């Protein structure tokens, strides 16, 4: 099966720990992505965004960037889980003939969290339905608590160790060291990691995505045919997949309440759809950009995507396997633990950089790159390729 569409332009505002408003970030990132593609506002006829969200609406994007007669628009839910699903929407729009040039973007500011996420249906529902009464009242007041609870159970079930979480952190921080955009460019050894205090045990600050982050990213997609005529090396979408997962809960943060075991994510079902539709396997993946709102989120996905057996994510991550030159280089930009936290969109940009041969940590022969979206709730993923 040959690719229908390709990413032909990327843009980022860069990342800061204070400052700009979501809409301005969105306008800037989209403008940069169009310039990178050698396209203009008049070429765009599709816009896809995703929540949890304080950034610009589709109407605001159109009004402020001069877009007209959009033939396709969508807002994907699920926060970071929806990152790759924006590209899935763009591919569907192009394949369906609804649009020729589709912009996908994410503008991220701290007000996207907590009570500031007023426009997100899942957050609203969680508050109105009383679900949050059962969580907030128990002292469960952070998304990191959800991952700490799942990680603790993973350690119990499979013997996963703090040293193994530290190996994930070390890999991301090493890669961030050569990235001029990185907010945490200082390398860290596993020993230094272990000496740092716990924030929500078993997680330390270094295990958690960089907050606050202010920044935006955008990509431009068009058909594989048209992509050949544009200036940038196309990053072909070999596969795009999403899944709501099994035993879906009404609100993603509730994951540890799920009936049955909690040590895998919807990512496991995403993986089945992703590799199945591409006719590819994990052995074809040269480099992976794996969603890392926490180090544990990345570790568990190594299992979900089949890079190792269930429960072996910890041993897999040890001894430099996730670093440049290792068995599976991951997050070659530094990821959310080393570069910045823009709900997974930074990972899409880094996958394109690898395909173009322009990464700050280029993996030789990176022909197939995996990108994954957030967890544990509904999630999405991409396989990008240098060839169709």
Partner 1 sequence: MSAQPPFAERDQPFWEGCRAGELTVACCPRCDAHWFPSQDRCPACGSSEVGWTGVDPEGVVYTFAVVRGPRSDGIGAPPAVEYPYVLAVVEVGGGARIAAPMVDVDADAVWIGMPVRARFTPGVAELPVFHPVEPQIA
Which residues are known catalytic residues? 291, 341
User: Which residues 6+ apart lie within 8 Å of 187 measured at CB?
Assistant: 170, 173, 174, 177
| Cα–Cα distance for residue pair 191/334, rounded to 1 Å | 19
Q: How far is the CB of 200 from partner 1 (least distance, A)?
A: 5
Instruction: Indicate whether 135 belongs to the interface with partner 1 (CB under 8 A).
Output: yes
| Cα–Cα distance for residue pair 317/340, rounded to 1 Å | 21
Q: How far is the CB of 278 from partner 1 (least distance, A)?
A: 32
Which residue of 66, 97, 134, 228 would you call a contact of partner 1, by CB under 8 A? Answer: 134
Total residues belonging to the chain: 388
Q: How far is the CB of 126 from partner 1 (least distance, A)?
A: 10
Residue among 116 and 185 whose Cβ is closer to partner 1: 116
| Cα–Cα distance for residue pair 355/359, rounded to 1 Å | 8
Instruction: Indicate whether 206 belongs to the interface with partner 1 (CB under 8 A).
Output: no
Q: How far apart are the first and last CA of the chain?
A: 8
Residue among 135 and 363 whose Cβ is closer to partner 1: 135
Which residue of 4, 131, 240, 360 would you call a contact of partner 1, by CB under 8 A? Answer: 131
Helix (H, G, I), strand (E, B) or coil at 314: helix
Instruction: Indicate whether 256 belongs to the interface with partner 1 (CB under 8 A).
Output: yes
| Cα–Cα distance for residue pair 372/380, rounded to 1 Å | 6
Q: How far is the CB of 31 from partner 1 (least distance, A)?
A: 29
Instruction: Indicate whether 138 belongs to the interface with partner 1 (CB under 8 A).
Output: yes
Helix (H, G, I), strand (E, B) or coil at 108: strand
Instruction: Indicate whether 129 belongs to the interface with partner 1 (CB under 8 A).
Output: yes
| Cα–Cα distance for residue pair 337/321, rounded to 1 Å | 17
Residue among 135 and 382 whose Cβ is closer to partner 1: 135
Instruction: Indicate whether 145 belongs to the interface with partner 1 (CB under 8 A).
Output: yes
Which residue of 40, 96, 159, 250 would you call a contact of partner 1, by CB under 8 A? Answer: 250
Given the rule CB under 8 A, which of 37-45, 138-146, 353-361, 377-385 is the region that contacts partner 1? 138-146
Instruction: Indicate whether 208 belongs to the interface with partner 1 (CB under 8 A).
Output: yes
Instruction: Indicate whether 130 belongs to the interface with partner 1 (CB under 8 A).
Output: yes
Number of residues in contact with partner 1 under rule CB under 8 A: 46
Q: How far is the CB of 306 from partner 1 (least distance, A)?
A: 24
Residue with tokens 């794996």: 290
Helix (H, G, I), strand (E, B) or coil at 124: helix
Residue among 133 and 225 whose Cβ is closer to partner 1: 133
Which residue of 70, 90, 122, 150 would you call a contact of partner 1, by CB under 8 A? Answer: 150
Given the rule CB under 8 A, which of 66-74, 255-263, 343-351, 352-360 is the region that contacts partner 1? 255-263
Q: Which helix (H) or strand (E) holds 9?
A: strand 5-12
Strands of the sheet containing 5-12, edge to edge, are 72-76, 46-50, 101-108, 215-223, 5-12, 235-243, 379-385, 368-372, 287-289
Interaction with partner 1 in 159-198: which residues (CB under 8 A)? Answer: 197-198
Residue among 62 and 293 whose Cβ is closer to partner 1: 293
Residue among 155 and 176 whose Cβ is closer to partner 1: 155
DSSP 205: G
| Cα–Cα distance for residue pair 305/309, rounded to 1 Å | 9
Residue among 190 and 211 whose Cβ is closer to partner 1: 211
Going by DSSP bridges, is the β-strand pair 101-108/215-223 parallel, antiparallel, or unpaired?
Answer: antiparallel
Cis peptide leading into residue 52 (ω within 30°): yes
Cis peptide leading into residue 376 (ω within 30°): yes
Going by DSSP bridges, is the β-strand pair 5-12/235-243 parallel, antiparallel, or unpaired?
Answer: antiparallel
Residue 370 CA to its chain's centroid (Å): 11
Q: How far is the CB of 63 from partner 1 (least distance, A)?
A: 31
Instruction: Indicate whether 212 belongs to the interface with partner 1 (CB under 8 A).
Output: yes
Residue among 246 and 358 whose Cβ is closer to partner 1: 246
Instruction: Report the interface residues with partner 1, using CB under 8 A.
Output: 110, 113-115, 128-131, 133-145, 148-150, 152-153, 156, 197-203, 205, 208, 211-212, 247, 249-250, 254, 256-257, 259, 262
């Amino acid at each position: 099966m040959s690719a229908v569409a390709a990413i032909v332009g990327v843009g980022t505002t860069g990342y800061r720990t204070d400052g700009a408003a979501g809409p301005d970030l969105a306008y800037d990132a989209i403008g940069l992505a169009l310039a990178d593609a050698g396209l203009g506002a008049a070429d765009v006829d599709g816009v896809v965004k995703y929540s949890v969200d304080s950034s610009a609406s589709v109407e605001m994007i159109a009004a402020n960037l001069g877009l007209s007669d959009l033939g396709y628009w969508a807002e994907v839910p699920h926060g970071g889980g929806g990152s790759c699903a924006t590209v899935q929407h763009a591919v569907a729009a192009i394949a369906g003939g609804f649009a020729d040039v589709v912009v996908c973007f994410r503008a991220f500011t701290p007000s996207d969290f907590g009570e500031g996420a007023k426009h997100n249906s899942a957050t609203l529902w969680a508050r109105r339905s009383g679900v949050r009464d059962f969580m907030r009242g128990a002292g469960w007041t952070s998304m990191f608590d959800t991952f700490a609870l799942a990680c603790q159970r993973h350690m119990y079930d499979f013997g996963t160790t703090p040293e193994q979480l530290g190996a994930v952190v070390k890999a991301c921080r090493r890669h961030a060291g050569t990235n001029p955009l990185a907010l945490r460019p200082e390398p860290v050894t596993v020993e230094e990691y272990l000496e740092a205090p716990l924030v929500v045990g078993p997680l330390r600050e270094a295990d958690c995505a960089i907050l606050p982050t202010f920044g935006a990213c955008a990509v431009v997609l068009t058909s594989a045919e048209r992509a050949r005529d544009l200036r940038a090396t196309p990053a072909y979408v070999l596969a795009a997949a999403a899944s709501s997962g099994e035993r879906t809960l009404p609100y993603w943060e509730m994951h540890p309440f799920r009936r049955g075991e909690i040590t895998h994510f919807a990512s496991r079902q995403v993986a089945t759809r992703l590799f199945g539709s591409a006719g590819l396997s994990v052995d074809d993946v040269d480099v992976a950009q794996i969603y890392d709102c926490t180090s544990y989120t990345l570790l568990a996905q190594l299992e979900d995507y089949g890079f190792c057996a269930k429960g072996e994510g910890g041993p897999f991550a040890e001894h430099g396997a996730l670093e440049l030159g290792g068995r599976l280089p991951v997050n070659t930009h530094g990821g959310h633990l080393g570069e910045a936290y823009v709900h997974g969109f930074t990972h899409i940009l880094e996958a394109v950089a690898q395909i173009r041969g322009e990464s700050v940590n280029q993996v030789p022969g990176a022909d197939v790159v995996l990108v994954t979206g957030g967890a544990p709730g509904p999630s999405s993923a991409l396989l990008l390729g240098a060839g169709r």
